[in-house]
Amino acid sequence: MTKTVQYLTIDPEFAGQRIDNFLVTRLKGVPKSHIYRILRKGEVRVNKKRIDPSYRLQAEDSVRIPPIKTDLPKKPITPSQKLTQTLTDRILFEDERVLIINKPSGIPVHGGSKVKIGLVEILKTMYPKHPNLELAHRLDADTSGCLIFAKKRSALRELHELLRSGKVSKQYLALTKGHWSQKELKVDVSLQKNILSSGERIVKVNKEGKESLTIFKPVQTFDDATLVEADLLTGRTHQIRVHAQYRKHPIAGDEKYGDRDFNKSMKEKGLKRLFLHSHHVSFTLPSTGLKISVTAPLDEELKVFLEQL
């Protein structure tokens, strides 16, 4: 709990960020509902004035934050040395602005009620000199492969703009049920995200949703399954999983959108996880002109499983 009013001067790195997002990051452990309440009541001031949650910060802004209670644990949660070393070994690219890792399956990108620490929190302990390190995009907890982080706010803005404008090339590998025909390979159907009362996200094909386009390409065919490369041309939540399900070729090991019998068959043959892997990403940062292109090899357990098939 902060017992006194805080006054912060905004660093140029945070220029352009919305005040609500800035406070969510700054006030760890404070519920979003409380952050929006103190904004609405005018307890947060910028340059001594009330502001809307959508206000975008400017360099040298003076931000007043009222005394506030947090729900953070008394002792910070730290990752094990083994986990830290695992992530270090899985770094695919790193410079002063960008970090790309081959994310392990089973680790969420953010900590929550069920998992106390996620990749973002782990990496911040590994990179204390980069407190502004943030995710540029997301991967589901069970998905492995290329995951992009920005070390600086300016790099994060660049990456978000590249992602919005479709200038980040992303290819995934997925093991899917059955065999694909040529006419099934292009999936251009809109998706709508819904939040259930439990808080779980579920995505469905719906013409009222957001435009979504995935191109599938068969890589290797097995008796009752096909390894495909999925070219993600839009970045919707669960896009590849739902598009594969829509074509009646659900992904192996997908407990939410998959086929129960197919999953059971794959599990009996040794598959212990969702077979979805972010295989390749490439993009060019406008500020440096540097083209970044990385490939994340399949995890050994997936390679062994394919050999068994």
Q: Which residues are the active-site residues?
A: 140
Q: Is 208 exposed, middle or buried (0-12, 13-18, 19+ CB in 10 A)?
A: exposed
**Cβ proximity of 284 and 263 under 8 Å:** no
Amino acid type, 134:
E
Letter for the amino acid at 18? Answer: R
- Concatenating the DSSP letter of every residue in 150-188 gives ESSHHHHHHHHHHHHTT-SEEEEEEEEES---GGGSEEE
**Residues in contact with 267: Cβ distance below 8 Å, sequence separation at least 6, in sequence order:** 253
- What residues contact 76, with CB distance under 8 A and at least 6 apart? none
Read off φ and ψ for residue 49, nearest 5 degrees: -120, 150
Output phi, psi for 94, to 5 deg: -155, 135
C-beta atoms surrounding 222 within 10 Å: 11
Instruction: Dump strand ranges (E) for 222-256.
Output: 225-232
The answer to whether 32 and 80 have CB atoms below 8 angstroms apart is: no
Please state the separation of Cα 23 from the chain's center in Å: 20
Q: Give the contacts of 132 (CB within 8 A, at least 6 positions apart).
A: 13, 14, 150, 151, 152, 153, 156
